[in-house]
Structure formats: structure tokens, C-alpha cells
Amino acid sequence: MSSHPLTHHEILAVIGPFSRRGFQADLVATQRRDRRLLFKATQTPTVRLPFAAVEEVLSLECRPAGEFLLQRALSTEGGPVARVEVVGSDPGSMLERVLAPPAEAMFRHGPGYVAALMARLDGSMLVPVGAAACIGAWHFELDADTVGGMPAEVVLDCAAPTTATLPDDLLAVLGWHWGSLHRGSDSWRTTLKLRGRGLRRRQDAIDAFLVGVAHLAETFADSPLSFHGRRVRGRWIAALRRIVPLVLAAVLIGIGALCTRLNIEDNSTLRVLLMSSPPILMILFFSLREVPRLELPPAPRRANAGSWPVQPR
């Protein structure tokens, strides 16, 4: 990135198309050192959303060699932020492209939740890169901008300090592609396994995320006890899936022990297969994009709590 701050002359050179569309530069908020020009927020009315208007904010990052990054952020009061961005060399045409998607097309909503999409423009095509959702005090976010073969990262946290203990199979009950929740210092994290490449893979990530959002909204609206009652079969399947890596590791050890005990001729095909299988399986095991956990998960049990607590620690 160019080292010199954004100058007044540079701002005047690019601001024309924005002024003609009614966007006013916010010179106080503009980050000159980062060469990012910000525009004052505008209100966009909505019809099919559970809120009357969306606040719209544009930012233009001036990059080296005449390249620009234009981002359109759409936010709701207390809700998630949707984003559309485009990279190019002509701010005027970039502005027309980034304003083309209707604001309402960047949101999804259902009972108890509002979700916002994040995308970048490739030509006239919207390419999903992530999504975020608000479910009461809970914030749920997906990063789908990963290369083929890598799982998408998913984070769940709470807007208020909480003592909540979430079951690690909270999302894994939805199917094999959802991993177990792991508690961090201030959030819970998991992964979403995806197949394929390109746009179809990214759209599958968004579709699966929205299913997860609806599931969390339904789950948090009820009690932990009800979660076990409705999802007991899925919880047991999720627990059995977590045992698979441990079983495979035991099989590897068993095959190795078998090789030393069986009286098999040195040149026999069976002996070659038995001797070769442990290292080959071990290589395959650790060459996976996401190394499996060797664990013996606890059996799913009913929770004692009557609600999902969100309260000061």
C-alpha cells in the first residue's frame, strides 16, 4: 500500500460519482493514513424485513497503481451487518455495481433470528464469502472464504457475559458436515465441512449456515432438556462419529501387533499387505486437511438446566 496519507486532491478526484448519487464524504471519519475514504450513512427503507430501514455506509480504499476497493455495509439496529465489496479501477462503475443488489436481498430472517450475507462482486455475480446472524443475545458467524478442501470456520459468541454451558454436539446433530463445539476464552468455535469448489461450494456453506441459524433459534427458544428430547438420535450419531478416529487408531495398532504374531512367510502377499497397511493408513490419517481428534466422547445426557443462561459471570 502507498505510504503517504490520502490527500484532499485525491479525494476530489474520486468523489464525483458518489456525490451525484447523493453520498456525502465523511471527512471527519475518513481514515487518511489508511487511505480509506468514508461516506456518511444513509437510510434505505425495507418492506420484506422485520425492520423498517437499513443503514447504508460506503467506504472506498485507494490502493496502489490506481486500484480501489469499494465496500457497502448494510446494518440494522442491534443486528448483523451485511457487506458487498468490489475491486476495480473505475470508482463510478464500481459504485453502480455495488449498489445493484437490493438491500433486502442481503438479509434472511425467520422466527427469532436475522441473518446477514457477505459477498464480493465478480463481474455482475455475487460470490458469497461469509454470513452472520443474531439470535437474541447470541452472535453466529461463518467465514466461507476458504480454499477447496478446507472446512469453513464458524464462531458462536454471546453479546452479554454468560455462564452458559453449551453441549458440544449442539450443531453436530445436524449432520456429518458440522463439527463439535469447542469453548475458547470468549466464544465457541466449530467447523463446517464442505465439498466441491467454486461458487457451488460457497453457496452450500451459506445454505448450511442458515439451517444452523434456524436450528439455534429453535433450540435457544426452548430448554436444554427439550433439546435432548428432540435430538437424542442425532446426539448419539454425533457421538459415534467422534469415536471413529479412535477406532481407526486402534485398528492401526492391532494390525501392527498382528504382523509380529502371525507366522506368515516373508515373501507372501498377505505379509506385505499387513506390513504396509499401518504406515499407509497413518500417512492418510495425518494428511487430512483437518486432523481428527482421538477422543472418547461422553454419552449424551439430559441437561439439568431449565433454560440457556445468559447472565453475568
Cα–Cα dist 230/302, whole Å: 11
pLDDT of residue 48: 82
pLDDT of residue 46: 85
pLDDT of residue 1: 43
Quote the cell numbers at residue 223.
Answer: 430448554
Quote the cell numbers at residue 291.
Answer: 486432523
* SS3 assignment, position 140: strand
Q: Where are the beta strands (DSSP E) in 14-147?
A: 36-38, 42-45, 53-62, 68-75, 81-88, 107-110, 113-122, 125-135, 138-143
pLDDT of residue 194: 87
Task: Tell me the sheet residues that pair with 118.
Answer: 83, 130
pLDDT of residue 313: 38
Q: Where are the alpha helices (DSSP H) in the chain?
A: 8-14, 16-20, 91-99, 198-220, 224-261, 269-286
Contact 126, 84 (CB under 8 A): yes
pLDDT of residue 302: 74
Cα–Cα dist 141/133, whole Å: 6
Cα–Cα dist 80/209, whole Å: 14
Q: What is the 3-state secondary structure (H, E, C) of 156-210?
A: EEECCCCCCCCCCCCCHHHCCCECCCEECCCCEEEEECCCCCHHHHHHHHHHHHH
Q: What is the residue-level pLDDT of the chain in tens, covering all 313 positions?
A: 446 899 999 999 999 999 999 999 999 999 999 999 999 999 988 878 888 889 999 999 999 888 999 999 999 887 899 999 999 999 999 999 999 999 999 999 999 999 999 999 998 889 999 999 999 889 999 998 876 668 899 999 987 766 667 888 999 999 989 988 988 877 899 999 888 778 888 999 999 999 999 999 999 988 888 888 888 888 888 888 877 766 777 776 676 666 666 666 666 666 666 666 666 666 665 555 555 666 667 777 777 665 676 644 3
pLDDT of residue 312: 40
Cα–Cα dist 232/33, whole Å: 55
User: If we measure between CA atoms, which residue out of 264, 280, 273, 142 comes closest to residue 202?
Assistant: 142
Contact 309, 163 (CB under 8 A): yes
* SS3 assignment, position 241: helix
pLDDT of residue 163: 67
Task: Tell me the sheet residues that pair with 54.
Answer: 44
pLDDT of residue 272: 64
pLDDT of residue 262: 65
pLDDT of residue 183: 86
Check residue 32 and report its DSSP letter: T
